[in-house]
């Protein structure tokens, strides 16, 4: 049975580099790493598919806009005989800093309209998720923030985060995309000490208060 990796986002150049589109960004990079190419599909989205390390894999970019993502994902899953636990949805997460990711299975939509649409259309919230932090931290209105673009000062960390998240997905698919493989990948990649955000959370080194440059300490 194939696996479906759906990157949630909005279609069009206007949204291509926005925070809400990190799901699209990731599946585009996965397609490059897997050697797949995107094409139009009957399922309201762009699809890239092929065999990666013996695992039949379908990459999907829903073109329905975020709030109707479930229409595309459900149609693609049904047409390809893909079960609920063989669906991995990739989405943005405003509660995480950029550089943090989290893999999980099941749960609520967490206030994310794309995930809410998937739960409604799939009829079950038991699909797998990969959430990628976009670093809101109370910055303005939610809608305006997620539709804003990443800043130039974030580009290096964004690239590192997408590479790390891509490693996690390829690791899972490369192990046969089984339940056991997903559990192992969660344990490995959910470890915050290994994630790109870890370097940002390290305390600054203590400053040396002793005299330097061979200068004598000040004395009265």
Q: Could you list the active site residues?
A: 20
How many residues does the structure list for the chain? 220
Copy the structure tokens of residue 86: 């063989």
Beta-bridge mates of residue 5: 59, 88
Residue written as tokens 């995930």? 115
CB 145 within 8 A of CB 107: no
Residue 88's nearest CA partner among 111, 39, 65, 55 is 55
Q: Which residues have C-beta within 8 Å of that of residue 205, sequence separation ≥ 6?
A: none
CB 119 within 8 A of CB 70: yes
Copy the structure tokens of residue 85: 């636990």
| CA dist., res. 89 & res. 128, Å (int) | 6
Structure-derived torsion over alpha carbons of residues 33, 70, 8, 37, reported in degrees to the nearest 10: 30
Report in angstroms the alpha-carbon separations of 94 from 33, 91, 139, 145: 27, 10, 10, 9
Neighbours of 21 (CB within 10 A): 27
């Amino acid at each position: 049975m194939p696996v479906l990796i759906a990157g949630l986002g909005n279609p069009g150049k206007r949204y291509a580099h926005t925070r809400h589109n990190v799901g699209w960004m990731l599946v585009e990079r996965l397609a490059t790493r897997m050697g797949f190419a995107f094409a139009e599909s009957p399922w309201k989205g762009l699809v890239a598919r092929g065999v990666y390390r013996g695992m039949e894999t379908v990459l999907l970019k829903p073109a329905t806009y975020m709030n109707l993502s479930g229409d595309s994902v459900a149609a693609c899953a049904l047409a390809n005989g893909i079960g609920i636990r063989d669906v991995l949805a990739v989405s943005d997460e405003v509660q995480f800093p950029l550089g943090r990711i989290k893999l999980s299975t099941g749960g609520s939509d967490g206030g994310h309209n794309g995930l809410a649409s998937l739960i409604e259309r799939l009829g079950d919230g038991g699909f797998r998720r990969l959430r990628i932090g976009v670093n809101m931290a109370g910055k303005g209105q939610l809608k305006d923030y997620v539709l804003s673009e990443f800043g130039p000062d974030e580009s290096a960390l964004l690239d590192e985060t997408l590479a790390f998240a891509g490693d996690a997905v390829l690791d899972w698919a490369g192990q046969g995309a089984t339940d056991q493989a997903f559990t192992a990948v969660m344990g490995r990649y959910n470890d915050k000490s290994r994630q790109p955000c870890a370097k940002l959370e390290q305390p600054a080194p203590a400053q040396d208060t002793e005299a330097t440059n061979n200068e004598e300490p000040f004395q009265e």
